[in-house]
């Protein structure tokens, strides 16, 4: 989240005038109004392409109370915030904010994070004085009772997923309604709880179990969309079948889809990982395992139809092999099994 500076207007302040003053000062920000929240809520409830569409419950509209509870300060009427961590706010922008605060201080109620603004930037003495006048400190967060505190100790999960940052994260099943990151539970207000990270520095995304109903496709689509909004960067046709065991159809189309998402190196890495994960449970080329059939050009379970899980893993591996191509698939299979495979077996 970084270091937020939050400016609160007084209850009787004219937000429209304050926002016009921000515009006139060339500050690309604004105080949140009731109209902003109403438009945001309508977009979530009516626009199928809305960025937060996944927040709308399946059987009703999202409520204003739920919107405000979910987004906190970002949906608080009369509040404006900006992040001063990692140079996200430039020196020029910071000085504009400081000048705005000094000029309009009679219409401002409080500032949280004012010390961060003062310490990180060169601001005039008069502006520093104005900022300090209305800066308030957050009270120390209230701890959970000791018996309710928890510190997880996970070191692996279902799959180590690519994310929008340089660091991947694990996905694991959890008792959640929608994807969320696992936290170390210490404080009553969850906003103060830190993300849990294992010894290698990986975070863990909790995903809900698959329901036993006739909405499984809609369910996994909603899960995937919400996970993506939190940073997931895996292909739907890869990660959803892998974790939920829902089989693929039209493997050639899926292979083409994989090639649009992943580089050749990423495809090969995923093939090796899924092959290892699968063979650790279902031994390759053994009874009740799986094997590559060059006559069918796909992986199939041995000893019958097999379970839904092994059939799905075979489909994912087949689509990956087709996306990788015969030459590299043969090299990888030779490496993974210790047996010699040649290119024509995969064409």
- Average pLDDT for 53-80: 90
- Average pLDDT for 229-246: 95
Quote the DSSP letter at residue 49: T
SS3 at position 264: helix
Contact (Cβ atoms closer than 8 angstroms) between residue 216 and residue 246: yes
The pLDDT of residue 57: 85
**Element housing 299 (H / E):** strand 298-301
The pLDDT of residue 145: 86
Q: Is the pLDDT of residue 303 over 50?
A: yes
d(CA 176, CA 190): 15
- Greater pLDDT, 224 or 52: 224
Prediction pTM value: 0.68
Phi and psi at residue 111, to the nearest 5°: -130, 130
Q: How many residues does the chain have?
A: 347
Alpha-helical segments (H) within 80-215: 91-103, 114-120, 125-134
Segment 1-53, tens digit of pLDDT: 448 899 999 999 999 999 999 999 999 999 999 999 999 999 999 998 888 88
Q: Are strands 203-207 and 169-173 parallel, antiparallel or unpaired?
A: parallel
Report the percent of the chain where pLDDT is more than 70. 99
The pLDDT of residue 137: 83
Alpha-helical segments (H) within the chain: 15-24, 34-46, 64-71, 91-103, 114-120, 125-134, 216-229, 236-244, 251-261, 264-279, 308-324, 326-337
Segment 207-220, tens digit of pLDDT: 999 998 888 999 99
Question: In 3D, which of 96, 78, 82 has the Cα closest to residue 10?
Answer: 78
Contact (Cβ atoms closer than 8 angstroms) between residue 98 and residue 90: no
Least confident range of 8-17, 187-196, 317-326: 187-196
Phi and psi at residue 290, to the nearest 5°: -150, 165
Give Cα 343 distance to the centre of its chain: 38
Structure tokens at 165: 């940052």
Q: Is the pLDDT of residue 139 over 80?
A: no
Query: What average pLDDT does the structure give for the chain?
Result: 93
The pLDDT of residue 114: 93
Phi and psi at residue 264, to the nearest 5°: -60, -40
Report the percent of the chain where pLDDT is more than 90. 80
SS3 at position 165: coil
Between the CA atoms of 335, 337, 340 and 343, what dihedral angle is there, to the nearest 10 degrees? -70
Dihedral sign computed on CA atoms, order 307, 308, 313, 319: positive
The pLDDT of residue 242: 96
Segment 266-284, tens digit of pLDDT: 999 999 999 999 999 999 9
pLDDT-derived band of residue 143, with 50, 70 and 90 as boundaries?
confident
The pLDDT of residue 202: 96
CA distances from 80 to 127, 186, 321 (A): 18, 28, 51
d(CA 305, CA 288): 9
SS3 at position 291: strand
The pLDDT of residue 3: 83
The pLDDT of residue 227: 94
Segment 74-110, tens digit of pLDDT: 999 999 999 998 788 999 999 999 999 999 999 999 9
Quote the DSSP letter at residue 206: E
The pLDDT of residue 146: 83
3-state percent helix, strand, coil for the chain, nearest multiple of 5: 45, 15, 40
**Buried residues in 176-190 as b, exposed as e (16+ CB within 10 A):** eebbbebbebbbeee
Q: Is the pLDDT of residue 309 over 90?
A: yes
The pLDDT of residue 1: 41
CA distances from 127 to 25, 84, 241, 283 (A): 16, 17, 57, 70
């Amino acid at each position: 989240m970084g270091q937020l500076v939050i400016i609160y207007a007084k209850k009787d302040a004219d937000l429209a005038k304050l926002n016009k003053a921000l515009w006139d000062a060339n500050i690309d920000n604004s105080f949140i109004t009731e109209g902003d929240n109403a438009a945001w809520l309508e977009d979530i409830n009516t626009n199928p392409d809305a960025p937060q569409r996944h927040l709308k419950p399946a059987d009703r509209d999202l409520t204003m109370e739920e919107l405000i509870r979910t987004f906190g300060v970002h949906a608080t009427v009369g509040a404006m915030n900006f992040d001063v961590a990692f140079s996200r706010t430039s020196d020029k922008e910071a000085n504009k904010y400081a000048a705005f605060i000094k000029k309009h201080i009679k219409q401002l109620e409080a500032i949280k994070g004012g010390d961060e603004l003062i310490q990180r930037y060169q601001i005039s003495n008069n502006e520093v004085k104005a900022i300090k006048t209305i800066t308030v400190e957050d009270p120390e967060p209230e701890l959970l009772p000791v018996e309710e505190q928890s510190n997880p100790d996970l070191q692996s999960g279902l799959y180590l997923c690519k994310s929008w940052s340089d660091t991947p994260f694990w996905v694991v099943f959890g008792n959640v309604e929608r994807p969320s990151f696992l936290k170390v539970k210490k404080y009553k207000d969850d906003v103060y709880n830190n993300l849990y990270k294992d010894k290698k520095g990986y975070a863990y995304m909790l995903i809900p179990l698959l329901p036993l109903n006739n909405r499984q496709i809609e369910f996994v689509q909603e899960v995937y969309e919400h996970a993506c909004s939190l940073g997931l960067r895996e292909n739907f046709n890869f990660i959803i079948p892998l974790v939920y065991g829902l089989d693929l159809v039209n493997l050639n189309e899926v292979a083409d889809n994989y090639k649009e998402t992943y580089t050749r190196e990423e495809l090969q890495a995923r093939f090796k990982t899924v092959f290892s994960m699968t063979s650790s449970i279902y031994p390759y080329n053994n009874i009740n395992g799986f094997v590559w059939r060059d006559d069918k050009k796909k992986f199939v379970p041995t000893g019958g139809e097999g379970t839904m899980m092994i059939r799905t893993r075979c489909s994912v591996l087949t689509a990956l092999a087709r996306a990788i191509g015969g030459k590299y698939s043969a090299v990888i299979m030779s490496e993974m099994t210790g047996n010699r495979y040649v290119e024509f077996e995969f064409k």
